[in-house]
């Protein structure tokens, strides 16, 4: 219904429409640029239940639109809603189907895998979350020689992300353990994320995958400006790992679009989030679960190492978190004593950890995250900061 409504609305304004059918979000980013379209549209609930279907836009270059541009489009839409000029019948847009959209995207993904390399001999458990990757990921992995154990590959429009996919890592973990697979891969519904688990069924988050990819890039002299991009939520162990290789971590605000923006601005080629949004910008313009999976699999193949060994690269720092109810959300620096409490904690950690304090964007909460080498110390520092918050902001 949403596809038909959007297509009809755009056609009525004189726009020609190319329908690709069900495809991962990054496939639309690629096809938009490859076919020189004015823009691309994705209808998806992403990693959420089907009731949360929304719309994503990509510009003609295959990158997501900025917040500023999306807000300008919304404002223009509502301003002109009562006075739109009609397009003459002969100028109404045409709606056509791109019959080989799956194959075009599959070719792009396959081309990102090293030539002469193969996945033969690897048993891979795959969970496509009953979502958009149900055709593309099995097609590409099997074409590269992998033996697949497929799960959640029968979308009916309602079962997307339901007890499966990257938001339910326990599912793919169980499949790996039951089937004896060498590795497990799980996408979210629109397949712009990927989650891995090793041969023991132990999950790897985005930080661990970034660590594996970054070290591989550094060893091949492929990491541009010796810099990896991640968000403020990534583990401090990632900073320490990169320092040991003479590289650095550039942090952004939470959100894959912020990561991509920083990569574009600084001309960097690798970045991502803990959630499994990984951006291999040598190949794609956005998070791409399949291409990200292929890059990690290629490292397994080239090194001959299982994920349980590769993941040991990242020594994660302990984290202590607090989510505290607040009655209001004044600026952090206006809460009596809070800036001082944060400063004392940062001094105690002596550049071997970090303190992050921020309000929830949707709930009456303030979130506190401390990270460092000593958990007991973190607990004490967190308690001190939490007490200051409670004294001033508790409901």
> What are the DSSP calls for 262-325, one per residue?
HHHHHT--EEE-TTS-EEETTT-SS--HHHHHHHHHHHHHHHT--HHHHGGG--PPPEEEEEEE
Q: What is the pLDDT of residue 239?
A: 92
- Exposed, middle or buried by CB within 10 Å (0-12, 13-18, 19+), for 265? exposed
Distance CA 93, CA 102 (A): 24
Residues of the chain with CATH 3.30.310.50: 319-393
Q: What is the pLDDT of residue 351?
A: 75
Q: What is the pLDDT of residue 83?
A: 58
Q: What is the pLDDT of residue 77?
A: 81
Sheet holding 319-325, edge to edge: 319-325, 365-371, 354-359
Residues of the chain with CATH 3.40.120.10: 2-100
Alpha-carbon distances of 87 from 5, 91, 94, rounded to whole Å: 17, 6, 13
Q: Which fold has domain 2-100?
A: Alpha-D-Glucose-1,6-Bisphosphate; Chain A, domain 3 (3.40.120)
Beta-bridge mates of residue 278: 272
Beta-bridge mates of residue 126: 150, 185
Alpha-carbon distances of 152 from 106, 142, 197, rounded to whole Å: 19, 16, 16
Active-site residue list: 46
366 and 357 Cβ atoms separated by less than 8 Å:
yes
pTM recorded for the entire structure: 0.87
> What are the DSSP calls for 107-149, one per residue?
HHHHHTSPTT---TT-EEEEE-TTSTTTTHHHHHHHHTT-EEE
What does each of the 395 residues of the chain score in pLDDT, given as a tens digit? 999 999 999 999 999 999 999 999 999 999 999 999 999 999 998 888 888 898 999 999 999 998 899 999 889 888 876 556 678 888 999 999 999 999 999 999 999 999 999 999 999 999 999 999 999 999 999 999 999 999 999 999 899 999 999 999 999 999 999 999 999 999 999 999 999 999 999 999 999 999 999 999 999 999 999 999 999 889 989 999 999 999 999 999 888 899 999 999 999 999 999 989 999 999 999 999 999 999 999 999 999 999 999 999 999 999 898 999 999 999 999 999 999 999 999 999 987 888 989 888 778 889 999 999 889 999 999 999 999 999 999 88
128 and 188 Cβ atoms separated by less than 8 Å:
no
CATH no., domain 319-393: 3.30.310.50
Number of H helices and E strands in the chain, helices first, is: 13, 16
């Amino acid at each position: 219904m949403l596809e038909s409504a959007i297509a009809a609305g755009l056609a009525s304004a004189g726009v020609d429409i190319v329908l690709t059918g069900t495809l991962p979000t990054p496939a639309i980013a690629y096809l938009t640029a490859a076919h020189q379209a004015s823009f691309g549209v994705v209808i998806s609930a992403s990693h959420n239940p089907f009731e949360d279907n929304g719309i994503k836009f990509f510009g003609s270059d295959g990158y997501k639109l900025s917040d500023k541009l999306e807000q300008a489009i919304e404002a223009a839409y509502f301003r002109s809603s009562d006075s739109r000029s009609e397009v003459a019948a002969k100028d109404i847009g045409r709606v056509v189907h791109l019959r080989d959209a799956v194959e075009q995207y599959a070719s792009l993904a396959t081309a990102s895998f090293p030539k002469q390399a193969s996945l033969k001999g690897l048993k891979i458990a795959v969970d496509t979350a009953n979502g958009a990757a149900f055709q593309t990921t099995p097609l590409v992995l099997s074409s590269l020689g992998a033996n697949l154990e497929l799960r959640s590959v029968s979308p009916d429009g309602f079962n997307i992300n339901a007890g499966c996919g990257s938001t339910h890592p326990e599912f793919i973990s169980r499949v790996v353990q039951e089937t004896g697979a060498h590795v497990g891969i799980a996408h979210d519904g629109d397949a712009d994320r990927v989650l891995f688990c090793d041969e023991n069924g132990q999950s790897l988050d985005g930080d661990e995958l970034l660590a594996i990819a970054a070290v591989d890039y550094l060893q091949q002299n492929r990491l541009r400006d010796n810099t990896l991009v991640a968000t403020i939520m990534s583990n401090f162990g990632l900073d320490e790992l990169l320092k040991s290789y003479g590289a650095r971590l550039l942090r952004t605000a939470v959100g894959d679009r912020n990561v991509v923006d920083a990569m574009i601005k600084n001309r960097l080629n690798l970045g991502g989030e803990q959630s499994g949004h990984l951006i291999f910008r040598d190949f794609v313009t956005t998070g791409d679960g399949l291409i990200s999976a292929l890059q990690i699999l290629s490292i397994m193949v080239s090194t001959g190492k299982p994920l349980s060994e590769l993941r040991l690269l990242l020594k994660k720092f302990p984290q202590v978190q607090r989510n505290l109810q607040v009655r209001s959300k004044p600026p952090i620096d206006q809460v009596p004593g809070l800036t001082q409490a944060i400063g004392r904690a940062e001094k105690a950690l002596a550049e071997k950890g970090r303190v992050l304090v921020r309000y929830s964007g949707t709930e009456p909460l303030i979130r506190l995250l401390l990270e460092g080498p000593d958990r007991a110390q973190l607990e004490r520092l967190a308690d001190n900061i939490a007490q200051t918050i409670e004294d001033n902001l508790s409901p």
